[in-house]
Amino acid sequence: MPTLYVRRVSLKDALSDAEVAAYWRFFQEEFVPAIMKVPGIRSVKMYSGAERLRADIIGLIEMDDAGVYERLLADPGVRPLIARAYAAWDMQTATQVFRREMTPELIRALSST
């Protein structure tokens, strides 16, 4: 069932402007392309808040199903990049949610119980 993974983060206050710029280059040039190679990933999009690409960042990963997220975490092309991607995040404010696409199949499955 199509699933959307939503991650909301802010970057650590201690990062300099140069570090923030380097982080987003890494994220766009290395991390996102690695994620896109995982089977079942449909799209990866990032949206920024108003604070110079530091705060209120929302990442959306559209997947074929929720199981793709587990495969993403274990993927040998993504796994070595995860620590670097997460290292800049203020984990005190980070959130994540999964959303299932409202499809006729989902409605049928839920109404049969």
Question: Domain range for residue 28?
Answer: 3-111
Instruction: Name 31's Cβ contacts closer than 8 Å, sequence gap at least 6.
Output: 78, 81, 84, 85
Reported confidence tier of residue 104, pLDDT bands at 50, 70, 90: confident
Which two tokens mark 27? 């994220």
Q: How many domains does the chain have?
A: 1
- Tell me the average pLDDT of the chain: 93
Chain segment 62-92, per-residue pLDDT in tens: 999 999 999 999 999 999 999 999 999 999 9
CATH number at residue 11: 3.30.70.100
Q: What does the pLDDT read at residue 37? A: 98
Q: How many CA atoms lie within 13 A of 85 on its CB side?
A: 19
Chain segment 13-29, per-residue pLDDT in tens: 999 999 999 999 999 99
Average pLDDT over residues 44-62: 90
